[in-house]
Structure 1
Amino acid sequence: MTDGGLEATGPHVLETGVLRLGPSEARADIGSPPSPEPALPVVEADIFFLFDSADFAPGESAKLDRFAVALEDPAAAAVTFLVLGHTDAKGSAAYNCALSARRADALAAALAERGVAAGRLVAIGVGEALPRNAADPTAAENRRVAFAPLKAADADRIVRLARLCP
């Protein structure tokens, strides 16, 4: 939904689920049954950006503060996180890849400014390739940012995700 120039991604601040990369590496399943492909657990974050921009919407500072505090919790302090930027399917694929990368970078930078070690954040834009709502590729809920805790075994998945937006 677009409201006053802001992109809204949905009513929830956080939604947990999994990201499964199948043979096409072009879909995200949230809350679906297990598949043979190992899942990457993700937290979908409703961080709002100005429309067609990587600038945060007014009022997002408190939400960013809460994310930074959560990432600095002792239980998560040694974890590296993947920050995935997403867009809807409006615009060209190349433009959406660039926009999603700028959004992921903006979120990683904002968290680093709040004390999260920059080395713990790996920002990747995947454009429109992994929609939350595949039935409506231009839906507002496809414009989002997601987090995933990373382990050494996830290196191959990061390479595969990075290839979605060369």
Structure 2
Amino acid sequence: MKKSRILISGVAALSLVSLSACVTDPNTGEQKVSRTAIGGVGGAALGYLLGGIIGGQTARIVGAGIGGVAGGAIGYKMDQQIKELKEQTAGSGVDVTETPDGKAILVNLPDGVTFAVDSTTISPSFQSTLDQIATSLKTYPDSLIDVYGHTDSTGSDTYNQGLSERRAKAVADYLAMRGVSSARIRSQGFGEQYPVATNETAEGRALNRRVEIKITPISQEEVNAAKGQ
């Protein structure tokens, strides 16, 4: 692992420990990372979540034909979608929260049930859960969807980067196959760059191996601005 990544991991691990980052998932009883605690890591480690939409927002809004949500209703719509997603994925190990800046929804797919070891094929037992997520994305169509892949630090940087990209694309392709407009979806792999736990333990590595679906609601004002450019 490169020195810069070690530094980021060390800062992240220290911040997470100091903020009691691990919480017990009520669905599975397992220890998971608290998204609130992750917010304390800072922009360096959370740039991929706090940054812009993959590929730029303007072109994607126009290409996806999104109508947009009235500005005052975005918060209400987000709360409703989060509530429904939590109910629909209960017991699956999926974690549904807001992103630390409160501007998007983050759906964390656990590695152990989403994929087999070193595989990019979605486990048949997890497909029904992804079907529920796809249904939610179709029910709330005024959003852009970014799918992020992450690995632990086991293996080379090159291998981990490729694996994270293929897994993110597999989830993105599955959502499109289930009827979510492909124009709304982009995927990206980050390899081992953004750990949420230590890579020194099996439990930490399991948390770091994940795929995240970031759902960013788009307002009518943003749609109008994009069409005006």
1:43 paired residue among 98, 103, 107: 107
Quote the sequence identity (%). Answer: 32
Give the Cα separation in 2 of the matches to 1:16 and 1:110: 27
| Aligned match of 1:17 | 35
Give the Cα separation in 2 of the matches to 1:80 and 1:124: 14
- Residue 141 of structure 1 and its aligned partner are, at CA, apart by 1.4
More deviation, 40-49/80-89: 40-49
Q: Give CA-to-partner distance per residue, 1:87-113, whole Å, 9 cap, x none.
A: 111111111010000000000000000
Could you say which structure has the larger radius of gyration? Answer: 2
- Relative to structure 1, is the Cα distance of residues 59 and 79 closer, same or farther in structure 2, using a 3 angstrom cutoff? same
Whether the aligned pair in 2 keeps the contact of 1:88 and 1:128 (CA below 8 Å) is: yes
2:153 paired residue among 59, 67, 89: 89
Letter of the aligned partner of 1:142 in structure 2?
N
Q: Give CA-to-partner distance per residue, 1:2-54, whole Å, 9 cap, x none.
A: xxxxxxxx847x988377662466898xx9xx7xxx57642212251121111
Give the Cα separation in 2 of the matches to 1:125 and 1:16: 22
- Relative to structure 1, is the Cα distance of residues 136 and 119 closer, same or farther in structure 2, using a 3 angstrom cutoff? farther
Q: How does 1:70-149 map to 2 (within 5 A)?
A: 70-73=136-139, 76-134=140-198, 136=200, 139-149=205-215
Give the Cα separation in 2 of the matches to 1:98 and 1:129: 13
More strand by share: 1
- Residue 131 of structure 1 and its aligned partner are, at CA, apart by 1.3
- Residue 77 of structure 1 and its aligned partner are, at CA, apart by 0.5
SS, match of residue 72 in structure 1: helix
Aligned length: 134
More helix by share: 2
Whether the aligned pair in 1 keeps the contact of 2:120 and 2:166 (CA below 8 Å) is: yes
SS, match of residue 168 in structure 2: helix
Give the Cα separation in 1 of the matches to 2:135 and 2:33: 18
Whether the aligned pair in 1 keeps the contact of 2:153 and 2:199 (CA below 8 Å) is: no
Q: TM-score, normalised by structure 2?
A: 0.49
Whether the aligned pair in 2 keeps the contact of 1:27 and 1:134 (CA below 8 Å) is: no
Give the Cα separation in 2 of the matches to 1:134 and 1:61: 29
Work out whether 1:66 is the aligned partner of 2:84: no
Whether the aligned pair in 1 keeps the contact of 2:115 and 2:121 (CA below 8 Å) is: yes
More deviation, 133-142/82-91: 133-142
Letter of the aligned partner of 1:102 in structure 2?
R
- Relative to structure 1, is the Cα distance of residues 16 and 115 closer, same or farther in structure 2, using a 3 angstrom cutoff? farther
Which ranges in structure 1 are unaligned for 5 or more consecutive residues? Answer: 1-9, 153-166
Which ranges in structure 2 are unaligned for 5 or more consecutive residues? Answer: 1-24, 50-96, 219-229
Whether the aligned pair in 2 keeps the contact of 1:72 and 1:116 (CA below 8 Å) is: yes
SS, match of residue 65 in structure 1: helix
Report the aligned-residue RMSD: 3.4
Letter of the aligned partner of 1:83 in structure 2?
V
SS, match of residue 215 in structure 2: strand
Give the Cα separation in 1 of the matches to 2:46 and 2:34: 20
Letter of the aligned partner of 1:110 in structure 2?
Y
1:150 paired residue among 195, 209, 216: 216
Whether the aligned pair in 2 keeps the contact of 1:15 and 1:43 (CA below 8 Å) is: no
- Relative to structure 1, is the Cα distance of residues 147 and 27 closer, same or farther in structure 2, using a 3 angstrom cutoff? closer
- Residue 136 of structure 1 and its aligned partner are, at CA, apart by 3.8
Q: TM-score, normalised by structure 1?
A: 0.66
